[in-house]
Structure 1
Amino acid sequence: MNGKILTLFLSFGGSLQKWKHQNILSREIQLYLYYLDTSAFIGIQIFSYDHRDRELLKNIKLADIGYAKIDVIAPQYSGGRSIFPNILWSLFGPLLARQLIAKSFVIKTNQVSGCWAAFIAKVATRKPLVFRFGYLLSKRFRQNGQPLRSALAAMVERAVFIAAEKIVVSARNVADQLAGQGHQQKTALIPSFVDTSLFTEKTDLSFDDPLVTVSRLTPQKNLENLIRACALLDRSLTIYGTGPLETHLRKTAASIGANIRFAGTIPNDQLAAALQGHSIFILPSLHEGLPKALIEAMACGLICVGSDIDGITDLIDDGVNGHLINGFESQNIAQKMQDILRDKNMAVSKRARETILSRHSISKYAAAEMALYEQFN
Structure 2
Amino acid sequence: MTLSLFFTRGVSLEQWLKQGLFEREKLIYEEHLKQGNLDKVYWFTYGSEDRKLANRLKSENRLHKNIEVFEMPKVFNITKIGSYLYSFFLPFIYRKELQKSNILKTNQTDGSWTAVISKKIYGKKLLYRTGYTMSQLENNLKRFNIIIRKCIELVEKFAYNNCDKAIVSSNHNVRYLVNKYSIDTKKIEVIYNFIDRNRFYDFNKQREKKVVFVGRLSEEKNIFNLIEAIHSVDLPLDIYGSGPLKNKLESFIKENNYNVRLLGNISNSLLPEILNKAKYFALVSIHEGMPKSLIEGMACGCICIGTNVSGINEVITEGNGILALSTSSNDIREAFIKALSLTPDEEVKMRLLAKEFIDKNFTLHNVVAKEQDIFKKLCNE
Which TM-score bucket, shorter chain as reference? over 0.9
Task: Report the Cα offset of residue 251 of structure 1.
Answer: 1.7
Q: 2:83 corresponds to which residue?
A: 86
Tell me if the contact between 1:279 and 1:303 (Cα under 8 Å) persists in the aligned partners: yes
Distance 1:217 1:66 in 2: 28
Distance 1:270 1:294 in 2: 16
Q: 1:226 corresponds to which residue?
A: 226
Q: 1:366 aligns with which of 357, 363, 368?
A: 368
Distance 1:5 1:142 in 2: 36
Q: 2:291 corresponds to which residue?
A: 291
Tell me if the contact between 2:205 and 2:276 (Cα under 8 Å) persists in the aligned partners: no
Tell me if the contact between 2:44 and 2:69 (Cα under 8 Å) persists in the aligned partners: yes
Q: 2:71 corresponds to which residue?
A: 74
1:230-287 CA distance string (max 9 Å, x none): 2211211111111121221122122223100111112111100011010110101010
Runs of 4+ residues over 3 Å off in structure 1: 78-81
Change in Cα spacing, 1:56 to 1:213, as seen in structure 2 (3 Å) is same
Output the aligned Cα RMSD: 1.5
Q: Does 1:240 align with 2:240?
A: yes
Moved more, 75-84 or 118-127: 75-84
Tell me if the contact between 1:115 and 1:160 (Cα under 8 Å) persists in the aligned partners: yes
Q: 2:267 corresponds to which residue?
A: 267
Task: Report the Cα offset of residue 66 of structure 1.
Answer: 5.0
Change in Cα spacing, 1:255 to 1:164, as seen in structure 2 (3 Å) is same
Tell me if the contact between 2:295 and 2:358 (Cα under 8 Å) persists in the aligned partners: yes
Identity %: 30
Task: Report the Cα offset of residue 204 of structure 1.
Answer: 4.5
1:126-167 CA distance string (max 9 Å, x none): 100001111121122222212222110111111111111100
Q: 1:195 corresponds to which residue?
A: 196
TM-score, normalised by the number of residues in structure 2: 0.94
Q: How does 1:320-359 map to 2 (within 5 A)?
A: 320-344=319-343, 345-346=346-347, 347-359=349-361
SS at match of 2:281: strand
Distance 1:341 1:29 in 2: 37
Q: How does 1:164-183 map to 2 (within 5 A)?
A: 164-180=163-179, 181-183=182-184
Q: 1:162 corresponds to which residue?
A: 161
- AA aligned to 1:221 is K
Task: Report the Cα offset of residue 78 of structure 1.
Answer: 5.8
Q: How many residues align?
A: 372
Q: 2:254 corresponds to which residue?
A: 254
Tell me if the contact between 2:202 and 2:299 (Cα under 8 Å) persists in the aligned partners: yes
Tell me if the contact between 1:298 and 1:353 (Cα under 8 Å) persists in the aligned partners: yes
- AA aligned to 2:337 is Q
- AA aligned to 1:88 is L
Moved more, 153-162 or 70-79: 70-79
Distance 2:267 2:63 in 1: 19
Q: 1:18 corresponds to which residue?
A: 15
Distance 1:57 1:116 in 2: 25
Q: Does 1:129 align with 2:126?
A: yes
Moved more, 253-262 or 99-108: 253-262
Task: Report the Cα offset of residue 323 of structure 1.
Answer: 0.8
Moved more, 16-25 or 92-101: 92-101
- AA aligned to 1:354 is E
Tell me if the contact between 2:12 and 2:45 (Cα under 8 Å) persists in the aligned partners: yes
Distance 2:58 2:258 in 1: 45
Tell me if the contact between 1:302 and 1:352 (Cα under 8 Å) persists in the aligned partners: no
Tell me if the contact between 2:50 and 2:71 (Cα under 8 Å) persists in the aligned partners: yes
Tell me if the contact between 1:226 and 1:284 (Cα under 8 Å) persists in the aligned partners: yes
Tell me if the contact between 1:101 and 1:121 (Cα under 8 Å) persists in the aligned partners: yes
Q: How does 1:41-60 map to 2 (within 5 A)?
A: 41-60=38-57
Q: How does 1:116-155 map to 2 (within 5 A)?
A: 116-145=113-142, 146=144, 147-155=146-154
- AA aligned to 1:244 is P
Tell me if the contact between 2:205 and 2:277 (Cα under 8 Å) persists in the aligned partners: no
Moved more, 138-147 or 113-122: 138-147
Distance 1:103 1:168 in 2: 23
Structure 1 unaligned residues grouped into runs of 5+: none
Distance 1:228 1:239 in 2: 14
Structure 2 unaligned residues grouped into runs of 5+: none
- AA aligned to 2:54 is L
Distance 1:88 1:230 in 2: 45
Tell me if the contact between 2:57 and 2:63 (Cα under 8 Å) persists in the aligned partners: no
Q: Does 1:184 align with 2:182?
A: no
Change in Cα spacing, 1:248 to 1:316, as seen in structure 2 (3 Å) is same
Tell me if the contact between 1:226 and 1:330 (Cα under 8 Å) persists in the aligned partners: yes
Distance 1:312 1:161 in 2: 25
